[in-house]
Structure formats: structure tokens, C-alpha cells
Chains A and B, each alone.
Chain A
Amino acid sequence: AQSVSQHNHHVILSEAASLELGCNYSYGGTVNLFWYVQYPGQHLQLLLKYFSGDPLVKGIKGFEAEFIKSKFSFNLRKPSVQWSDTAEYFCAVIVGGGYNKLIFGAGTRLAVHP
């Protein structure tokens, strides 16, 4: 069965530190990849997505992610985090022909300290 792995369950950073959250998926065919974010007390919302083309995609609030097909990875990055980036981040994938069913990873809780 297809799955998504997020290796870091909890990450703690100081403001201005760089961020990289890992995401790996297990599927050999065509995939569409997503990062969703859940800020405290807010709805889960889309951060960025990859469908095709440039494997480096940019999202909202200065986030970006790189699709590396050979590594089955879609890591999320931000050069300098802010306190307001404190949230839970979910990687998700749609596999080919899956009726747009999103398969989510377990999530990574990020805490940014001032």
C-alpha cells in the first residue's frame, strides 16, 4: 500500500534558523505531492503543491519544497523561520488514478522560539 513518511515528529527551532522537514513516499508511478499546514486554532490549509514541471515549488509565506523523484522525496524548506511558523505540517500524496484521495503523513509539529 502507498504510504507517506515524515521522519521528524517534533522539531524545535529558534527564530531565523533554517528549516527542512523530510517527506518520503512509497509509490513508483505518477504522484502529485502536497504540503498542508495547521496553525494553532486554524483550519488545515494548503501550503504548496507539485504536479509537474519545475521540481522546486514555492508556496505561501516563503516556504518551498523540492521533488526528487530518484529519492521519492518532497522535503519542505524555509531559509529563516519565524515564531508565526509554529504549526503542524503534513505531507500528502495523490497516487495515479486515486480519485483524488490524499494520503497523509503522520505530521511534524514545529515549535519556533523567539
Chain B
Amino acid sequence: DGGITQSPKYLFRKEGQNVTLSCEQNLNHDAMYWYRQDPGQGLRLIYYSQIVNDFQKGDIAEGYSVSREKKESFPLTVTSAQKNPTAFYLCASRTSAQAGTQYFGPGTRLTVL
């Protein structure tokens, strides 16, 4: 059963702590993305990666970091530098053959207390 998994579904952290969100895909897709979804603002791109060991900042990368050591994995770290980290985080992936058609995971809701 192919798809994108994100864990955990809900995550709570204290202010000032770094936290890493997991994203795994078994679709053999080259490109992977991280978005942040806030009510009334749609999805905003945090980071994206076209291939292994390469990634680019999106529109709101400040306070976040990523790695892409394996094709199937693209973890996102929300650092203490992110001023407003409480949000819904979505991971997506795309095959090179289908421009624009991204497949999304179920999301992780992060709450910073």
C-alpha cells in the first residue's frame, strides 16, 4: 500500500524545544515538500527537495531545517527560532513525470505550549 506517512499525528512541545516531524514515502518519488497550513492562509511552502542530499528554502523557511539523506525520508525540524510554530504541517511528494501533481500525507498538528 503506497503512500506518505507522517508521524506523529499530534505533537505537543514546550516553548524553546526543537522538535522533528517525520515524513516517509514509499512511492519512489524524487521530490518532497513541507508545507505549513494555518486557518485562512492556505498552504505555505517551508522547504522542498528535488533529489537526495539537496534541498531549497521555500517562502517561510526561517526557524525550520530539513535533511534529505534518503530518497524516501524528508524530516522537518522546527527549531526554537520559529516564532509561531503551532500549526498543521503537511508533507508531500511528487514524481518527476507528473509536474504539479503532489501527493500529500495526513499531516502533523504541532502545538507548542
Find chain A residues with CB under 8 A from B100 CB.
32, 34, 49, 51, 92, 94, 100, 102
Asked if residues A99 and B56 are in contact (CB atoms below 8 Å), the reply is: yes
Q: How large is the interface on B (under 10, 10 to 19, 20 to 34, 35 or more residues)?
A: 20 to 34
> Within the complex, what minimum Cβ distance (angstroms) separates A106 from chain B?
4
Stretch of A38-46, A64-72, A76-84 on the interface side: A38-46
Find chain B residues with CB under 8 A from A6 CB.
42
Asked if residues B99 and A94 are in contact (CB atoms below 8 Å), the reply is: yes
Pick from B94, B99, B104: contact of A45, CB under 8 Å: B104
Dominant secondary structure at the B interface: strand
Q: How large is the interface on A (under 10, 10 to 19, 20 to 34, 35 or more residues)?
A: 20 to 34
Find chain B residues with CB under 8 A from A9 CB.
40
Q: What is the 8 Å Cβ interface bit string for chain A, positions 82-114, against chain B (1 contact, 0 not)?
A: 000000001010100001111111110000000
The reply to whether the CB of B68 lies closer than 8 angstroms to some CB of chain A is no
Find chain B residues with CB under 8 A from A107 CB.
40, 42
CA distance A106 to B43 in the complex (A): 7
Find chain B residues with CB under 8 A from A92 CB.
100
CA distance A66 to B104 in the complex (A): 25
Find chain B residues with CB under 8 A from A45 CB.
104
Residues of B within 8 A of A (CB): 4, 31, 33, 35, 40-45, 48, 50, 56, 58, 90, 92, 94, 99-107
A-B complex: 4 closest residue pairs judged by Cβ atoms: A104-B42, A44-B104, A104-B43, A106-B42
